[in-house]
């Protein structure tokens, strides 16, 4: 029997179509890409999250000469929130990038980040909205992280 996974997401032609709070958060993710340490790939990623108390946390990817030992912006952000804002939930997370090529289409988290985001979401028992965009162009809004990881592995699988 064939089965299918699907999810709904919103697509906007540009950030100008977003509500003001989402637009501002995406702009923070876009701007923080300048602080990324990506001398090897020149692919700079920025993430900005709004917490349940209204604070905004930003982070970037951090590469290492022992490539690929670096850490993605999304996981840097999750680590910062966990360490500096314990017990706070992430409501919305915006992700953007800047590279030497075109930067005009939405970026999506890598597989390792999808796993980390899904577990953080499960741990906090709060869906995390994702705003995915480049420096310009279309923006996707995805209602929760687990949508990006069908048949995901979780702590429940360890207890079977």
Q: Which among 74, 100, 119, 156 is annotated as catalytic? A: 74
Query: Which residue intervals of 70-153 are DSSP H helices?
Result: 73-84, 111-124
Q: Whole-angstrom Cα distance, residue 17 to residue 34?
A: 24
Catalytic (active site) residue 119: no
Q: Whole-angstrom Cα distance, residue 24 to residue 19?
A: 9
**CA angle at residue 116 from 113 to 118, to 5 degrees?**
105
Cite the active site residues.
74
């Amino acid at each position: 029997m064939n089965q299918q996974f699907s999810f709904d997401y919103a697509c906007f032609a540009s950030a100008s179509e977003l509500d003001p709070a989402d637009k501002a958060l995406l702009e923070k993710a876009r701007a923080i890409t300048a602080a990324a340490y990506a001398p090897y790939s020149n692919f700079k990623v920025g993430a900005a999250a709004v917490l349940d108390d209204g604070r905004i946390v930003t982070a970037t990817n951090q590469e290492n000469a022992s490539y690929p030992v670096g850490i993605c912006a999304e996981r840097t952000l999750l680590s910062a929130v966990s360490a500096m804002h314990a017990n706070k939930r992430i409501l919305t997370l915006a992700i953007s990038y800047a590279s030497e090529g075109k930067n005009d289409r939405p970026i999506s988290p890598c597989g390792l980040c999808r796993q980390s985001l899904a577990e953080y979401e499960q741990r906090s028992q709060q869906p995390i909205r994702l705003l995915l965009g480049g420096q310009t162009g279309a923006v996707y809004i995805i209602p929760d992280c687990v949508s990006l990881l069908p048949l995901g592995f979780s702590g429940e699988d360890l207890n079977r």
